[in-house]
Structure 1
């Protein structure tokens, strides 16, 4: 065979080899790309006119929680904000000028909204309530407001109070008569209550705990009345 013939044969063999390399399918277990499973997130919750609202404040955790209920279903947490400032330490408010931010079971209504507050926006929580009055506690104009400063109120950032105020006003303008505002010294777990036994306000907190527990269990608001200067919760 001539040299040129041998070269043609070698070139043809090389082309065949390259074709096999480029076009022969790779094994299934080679270069397999596994798609990343992305969690399916629920759509962000929207509060519509007519939905019922509830506010829960946990002082020690600096939390204001806004809960909502549609068609009388159990409440669901809509959003949590960090409270910018509150004052006076843990425990209930007793008198005008003590600088304490209250604890207990309160409510705001349409007449307690203040869109012209010097603290940006504000709504009164309804202190003193029936329990406070029965025990001779004094004080007034206790608000959730903006401006991030507190002398007995619960102060939020201006951005925070704008969202909270708008939703509370929407609920009250859509038929809800009152928006409950339940204020606890801390998340009232059994463990936290054991840690609080030495506090002078422990017996008061024991009165509040059934209301906290009822909501935690049922995601519905307890019935709260005042009898013999005490909260009665069912």
Structure 2
């Protein structure tokens, strides 16, 4: 069983339990479990009733679910923010059953969508596909906000988080709220974020969602959401009495209230200026990055060209140039090897001395024959013991080995 963080506000009977799932299982009535005192006190401090209406906002990229609650003046303020444990798929809407995409859009949550007996501890169904999704032939089922921290198209929270989220919705319904809205968005729709994602295939869809986002940012009230002509429209009041919005039909004559339209125009004007600045900023950064990449590629190409030229020169000369000896004795690799017995220079020196000794013997014992298979019966004269040493000593070549240190040998020569 997956261990998760222990709830701080649960009763003392939870002591000794190893995981949050076990701790939450011990809640006597999770459906009616009260919100923690810290949240109740926060609501009172912000002029909120525990049963006042709510709305929720989900941001995929930031991985956040926010709960907003109505204050005494009718506007909403954020009361709680939760880190989403898991959501599946990528930025962008859900299209069909099985694509494992978490939905994006505006969804109404009614009391019947709350599931107190969820196999994921507690949950509520998001109502996907809504009328907009259906108008685009999008399919899917059982898309929820739930506990258990696992997702296949849902927004998954920890059990302790969903216990609070469920509690907010339960209390709002008890206060008389007919439904609450969940805004499921790809990211906070700021000018900079929109500029950063301006080349995304879903950008036009996100521009439409942004209108509702802007309405809430401007008024701090959940927007009135309708669908017509297969698109979302926000805070539109029909000009004809009893006119309705149909997802696949033409939008009825409608407009924003005048005061809201004026405020929205000013808000959008400032936002557009910020968007243009953000695009220019990202264009500069992109140009700088491209230039840096090109410089690195050019430097790498020059390095590869030099290596190729070096390899060609080595191939034409038959290999690397030999090391040049210093003073005819010292090698470039290790000068001391020249006088170390057993090294190549020392061995060559010994061979030269042996050849000189043999030459002296030959001169002293002229006419002597070295026995071979052809002259095996020819007697071999014994070398003159007096002459050979004299001739050998007459040479200037040092002995092959000496007890003197090498520096004394060098200085004596």
TM-score range, shorter chain: 0.7 to 0.9
- Compute the TM-score of the two structures, normalised by the length of structure 1: 0.79
Which deviates further from its counterpart, 204-213 or 67-76?
67-76
Structure 2, unaligned stretches of length 5 or more?
A: 1-40, 236-413
d(CA) in 2 for partners of 1:48 and 1:168?
A: 13
CA deviations over 1:171-228 (Å, ceiling 9, x no partner): 1132111011011100000111111111111110011001111111110111211111
- The Cα of 1:70 is off from its aligned counterpart by 3.3
1:187: which partner in 2? Answer: 188
d(CA) in 1 for partners of 2:125 and 2:73?
A: 25
Secondary structure of the residue aligned to 1:88 is coil
Please identify runs of 4+ aligned residues in structure 1 that moved more than 3 A: 46-50
Answer yes or no: is the 8 Å Cα contact 1:223–1:233 preserved in 2: yes
Alignment CA distance shift 1:72-1:90 (3 Å): same
Answer yes or no: is the 8 Å Cα contact 2:94–2:101 preserved in 1: yes
CA deviations over 1:130-183 (Å, ceiling 9, x no partner): 100111100111100000000000000100000000110111132111011011
- 1:176 aligns to 2:177 (yes or no): yes
Answer yes or no: is the 8 Å Cα contact 1:113–1:122 preserved in 2: yes
Kindly report which structure 2 residues correspond to 1:1-234, keeping only aligned pairs within 5 A, or say none. Answer: 44-46=42-44, 48-71=49-72, 73-234=74-235
Answer yes or no: is the 8 Å Cα contact 2:50–2:172 preserved in 1: yes
Structure 1, unaligned stretches of length 5 or more?
A: 1-42
Answer yes or no: is the 8 Å Cα contact 2:93–2:103 preserved in 1: yes
d(CA) in 1 for partners of 2:207 and 2:196?
A: 13
Secondary structure of the residue aligned to 2:166 is helix
- Structure showing the higher helix proportion among its residues: 2
Answer yes or no: is the 8 Å Cα contact 1:110–1:173 preserved in 2: no
d(CA) in 1 for partners of 2:70 and 2:124?
A: 21
Secondary structure of the residue aligned to 1:44 is helix
May I ask how many residue pairs the two structures share in their alignment?
192
d(CA) in 1 for partners of 2:232 and 2:139?
A: 18
Which deviates further from its counterpart, 103-112 or 68-77?
68-77
- The Cα of 1:62 is off from its aligned counterpart by 0.4
1:12: which partner in 2? Answer: none
Answer yes or no: is the 8 Å Cα contact 1:120–1:147 preserved in 2: yes
d(CA) in 2 for partners of 1:80 and 1:193?
A: 23
Answer yes or no: is the 8 Å Cα contact 1:88–1:99 preserved in 2: yes
Return the structure number with greater relative CO, CA threshold 8 A, min gap 6.
Answer: 1
Max radius of gyration: which structure?
2
Give the superposed CA RMSD. Answer: 1.2
- Structure showing the higher strand proportion among its residues: 1
Secondary structure of the residue aligned to 1:140 is coil
d(CA) in 1 for partners of 2:164 and 2:73?
A: 23
